[in-house]
Chain A
Amino acid sequence: MLQNIWLIPLLPFVSSVLLILTAGRLPRRLIAIMGAGSVGLSALIVLAVGMQFMELQTPYSLTLWVWMQVGNFAPGFSFYIDQLTVVMLSVITGVGFLIHLYSTEFMQDDSDYSRYFAYMNMFVAAMLILVMADNLLLLYLGWEGVGVCSYLLVGFWYKDPVNGAASRKAFVVTRVGDTAMALGLFLLFTELGTLQIQPMLEAANSRWVTGDTIPAIAALLLLGGAVGKSAQLPLHTWLPDAMAGPTPVSALIHAATMVTAGVYLIARTHGLFLLAPDVLMLVALVGLFTLLLAAFTALNQTDIKRILAYSTISQIGYMFLALGVGAWSAGIFHLMTHAFFKALLFLGAGAVVHCLHHEQNIFKMGGLRSKLPIVFWSFLIGSAALAALPFTSGFFSKDQILLSAFELHGTTGISLWIGPWLWAGGLVGAILTAIYSFRLVFIVFYGEAKTEPDRQPGWRMAAPLSLLCILSLIGGYFVLPLASVFPTVAQHQVSHLVEGISISIPLIGVLIAWLVYYKHSLPVEGFTESSLGKALRNFWYSGWAMDKLYDTIIVKPYTGTANAMRGEWLDRIYHGIVSLCQGSHALLSRTQGGKMRWYATSMVFGLIILVTLLGWVS
């Protein structure tokens, strides 16, 4: 089976190409079968590969072909499969298939049914290449591929200019990170002479010692790519706007898979990051600040999808925190459980929006508990897992992260003492998470009904929801066989007090949400309606005014400078190049007058030049 792994990305790719080439002329039924079926088949192959891999336990690599061999540069189309890859593959194809199945119903009334599945399949193929690549160049191909597909899908309903703006924002902001990552690749290639990940990491280990400057710069550049793709500070602003795309797209790309690519990248190149402890510390801090910032923001949103978007940013912050404190497995574990429950929440939100005439404001919903029971249970389970209530999947993964943060025993600098602070920050995030997720549940599903649903989700939406419910509940009991991929971490030896606090914090959050949003018995209005409260709410509602900040310090000065420079000397250089080209074109064109005597003369003229040149040199 292992030698057939190339089929995994190929199936969705072929399906996508066929859908593009037929341009919507196929019957809808066939489009649905191709779109969802190809991903489903890939998922089956991944299952078989995973089974076989459990026995094999050693990394497997497969070179399909070498792209081109010119000099020392020989990038291959090669795949590398280890336990980390298998986990990623399972998430991408498994959750991906469920979301595709859901989409076949969700997108039913859309006139661009075929285009939707063409993009979605292309995305899955690119994402699979990203995680299977054995060299950074191929990884970069997948990395850019998912970026393009994300752009296309965010702007899927392109007739509304707002969606176009959102997709451009997503593309441009991630491009900043991608540029950093490309520079990182160049640096690693010039320094180590290879882009193959495993030999590269070995070479890095033998060439540099911990704390050297060059691995730190390389790791920093890779981190730049990771924060862009994973929507972390300071490049997180694109993700909330990216909710302009269809909801299953948000579930697949902006929750379960693509946005976790940054986490994967850092985990995959962890050998490099271990050589740069300062950068690793920065990863943890980026994660912590992002998770707090996004949690505060999520608490104040009114759009159901934007709440989930900020929650995604916040949860990926937890994963970065895990990576930063060296809890690699815990980070990947949380990546997987998050994929389950966040996909569940997004698909649930999609079902709500789908059944409520495209209403997205949570304050115009309410009382849906009895009207959309399946969706209610999905949301309840998803929120419980998101809030990390005991025995749900999110509890196990988040608990590991927090405990690892508490136990951080660094050897240098701030890492000596910062562990408990990271833990405390994570706890603040956890209580906020519980509050905002149950705020959503109580407002949308309890209270009085404000909008009547006009339909019920069919089986193709209900089945993925139910399966994801199960996964969100039991996902925490999966044991990921990541021990051989990452350096071993000592068992947790924390006091029962710390553990108890970690467990009870989410429960307190749920209690607060219950009192405020269900019982309305906590007198919070006094604060929220005061001028300070209003200002804070607006500030958090706007995402800590980050968009405004960037607009003020980057966009405005940039366009301002560009406007001021219009007609200035700098501009004249570029206009000069244009005029030079046009002038030379005009001048040269005059020689092509069609007159043969002139053509013959120019030939003789050329002969004279040749003779002169030859004679002059010799």
Chain B
Amino acid sequence: METGIQALLAPLVVSIVALILMMQIAFKRHAIVSWLLGCTGFILAILALKPMADIVPKMVTPLLLSDQYSLFFSALILFSGLITTLLAKDYLQNRRGENEEFYLLLLLSSLGAMILVSATHVASFLLGMELLGVALYALIAYPERGQLPLEAAIKYLILSGAASAILLFGFALIYAVLGTLSFVGIGQALTQPILEDQQLLILLGTAMVFTGIGFKLSLVPFHMWTPDVYQGAPVPVTGFLATVSKGAIFAALLRLFIDAELYQYQGLMLSLSVLAIASMLAGNLLALKQDNLKRILAYSSIAHIGYLFITLIVYGVLQQPGLAVEAATFYLSAYIITSLAAFSLLSIISSNISETDLDDISHIQGLFWRQPMLALMLTIALLSLAGIPLTVGFIGKFYIFTAGIEGSLWVLLAALIIGSGISIYYYLRIVFQMTMKEPAGGSGAANMDPNSVRLSVLSKFVVWLLIFMMLYLGVLPQTLMEYLGGLSL
């Protein structure tokens, strides 16, 4: 039992700190104390990963598995949570309302994500996903003022609820036929002969499961909610949603996919290919002439999920399937770091000046002339999203490309290339806007007195760290690549 606790130390730390934080809020509200507690929780949990690493892999109950893979993603989740917490302080300070619960919700949401990446069983999978999701609903609706956050939260609540119900129903159908809910068990049972009429149930169940997961990952055609929710949520939450929520669910999907050996079913692979191609094209096309920065990033996230699905599809075709896992994990890490940087910068630009988020492309017009550093950093983040060399985004895309070529998935690669080509347009359009001279008498970050945009030491530290990581991993990716190559699933 003791090793069981050790193997789940990080989630336990997060749970305990969440409880303490809850009590603190109940007794005496104090924003700074809550913020400090939130930071402490994330930092302690990151430190707790070290003793966990000593005893992995370790199965704790049939539900959870602590292994290198789950540890790596836990670290990414906790890192993203910490960054979000650090940035949220500045962001919330300039807005009215009580901020303490924000940090509590972040902790709980991250806890859900960590359970998700350790899940080896449908029960823990659902548990993690719901914990992650329910906390997110509240986070999205967190700002008291403004209609958009509330609208976004309600949309996400209803649609996500529906998606979860479909997912659950799908698993129920599968359980009805196979009689097992563990990932490995499902895979084994699927290889046994199945009666003709029961095959239909399996088929329906699979379709429903992928509908549910596709919704959470905003895969076309389940992507409709994405721009509205991204736009409505406060920027730090959007960043959290884009990185932690999507990342954890994809990591869990990858485990389910490999444990249950789903890659051997041609029909499923074909369906996923269709969805991936649709995502790559539709996501990029939707972003093409979009003027809202958060919506651009939302659409681009749809395309990125499309790219990521190539790694799932190629897994079964490769002679060394390890390459697919490496590509997926590297791409996901790259995407998380880059998205965090982009949203952090948007959050910084927004947090100093106005009550509402400054997320229209006109708001950053001429930013380069007033805040060259911020503009340069945003440019680097956008270039990384576009996959330009010497940024981490390039290495990630190159990885997927190599995996795709090894697996001869030409149609998917064509979609990847066309999609990337289109994406250059809207990423560079933002850069172009930043270098333009500002309009006379317009309203935006550029028109404020440059001295009014004060970066706190904290925000500076956060964005510098993220930019450094993006460039470092773009120039020296080998350490991370070797580490990810050693992750076994």
| Chain A residues proximal to chain B, CB less than 8 Å | 23, 65-71, 73, 581-582, 584-585, 588-589, 591-592, 594, 596, 598-600, 602-603, 605-607, 609-611, 613-618
Contacts and interface: CB of A to CB of B under 8 A. Distances in A.
Nearest to A72: B402
A606 B478 contact: no
Interface stretch (B23-31, B34-42, B280-288): B280-288
Contacts of B267: 613-614, 616-618
B155 A588 contact: no
Contacts of B282: 588
Contacts of A599: 155, 159, 224-225
B402 A71 contact: yes
B227 A603 contact: no
A285 to B, nearest CB: 37
B271 A585 contact: no
Given A585-B289, A589-B286, A602 B402 contact: no
B166 A607 contact: yes
Closest 10 CB pairs of A and B: A617-B267, A599-B224, A606-B221, A610-B207, A613-B271, A585-B288, A618-B267, A611-B207, A607-B211, A70-B402
B399 interface: yes
Nearest to B199: A618
B288 A581 contact: yes
B241 interface: no
15 contacts: A66-B478, A68-B395, A71-B406, A584-B281, A598-B224, A602-B221, A603-B221, A603-B222, A607-B208, A607-B211, A610-B210, A610-B275, A611-B203, A611-B204, A613-B274
Given A70-B402, A584-B285, A611-B204, A596 B221 contact: no
Given A589-B286, A610-B207, A614-B267, A596 B478 contact: no
Chain A residues touching B, majority SS? helix
Contacts of A71: 323, 402, 406
Given A592-B227, A603-B215, A605-B221, A614 B271 contact: yes
B476 interface: yes
A585 B225 CA distance: 17
B422 interface: yes
Contacts of B270: 613, 617
Contact of B162 (A585, A600, A613, A617): A600
Interface in B384-428: 395, 398-399, 402, 406, 422
Contact of A609 (B221, B265, B323): B221
B261 interface: no
A65 B476 contact: yes
Contacts of A584: 281, 285
Q: Which residue, of B199, B208, B224, B399, has the highest number of chain A Cβ atoms within 10 A?
A: B224
B185 interface: no
Contact of A594 (B220, B228, B281, B323): B228
Given A588-B285, A614-B207, A603 B398 contact: no
B266 A68 contact: no
B: interface residue count bin: 35 or more
Interface string B172-195: 000000000000000000000000
B372 interface: yes
Contacts of A23: 372
Contacts of A73: 402
A486 B286 CA distance: 59
Nearest to B270: A617
Given A596-B159, A610-B271, A603 B475 contact: no
Given A596-B159, A613-B270, A618-B267, 7 more contacts: A65-B478, A67-B476, A596-B155, A602-B224, A606-B214, A613-B274, A618-B203
A606 B222 contact: yes
Nearest to B485: A69
Task: Give the one of A23, A585, A594 with max B CB within 10 A.
Answer: A585
B448 interface: no
B433 interface: no
A596 B225 CA distance: 8
Q: Give the interface centre of B214, B221, B406 by most chain A CB atoms within 10 Å.
A: B221
Contacts of B371: none
B349 interface: no
A613 B227 CA distance: 27
Contacts of A605: 221
B289 A582 contact: yes
Given A610-B210, A617-B266, A618-B267, A68 B478 contact: yes
Most chain B Cβ neighbours within 10 Å, of A65, A582, A591, A610:
A610
Contacts of B206: 614
A522 B402 CA distance: 72
A69 B481 CA distance: 8
Which of A65, A588, A603, A613 gathers the greatest number of chain B CB atoms within 10 Å? A603
B271 A70 contact: no
Contacts of B199: 618
A227 to B, nearest CB: 27
A582 B199 CA distance: 43
Contacts of B266: 617-618
A312 to B, nearest CB: 32
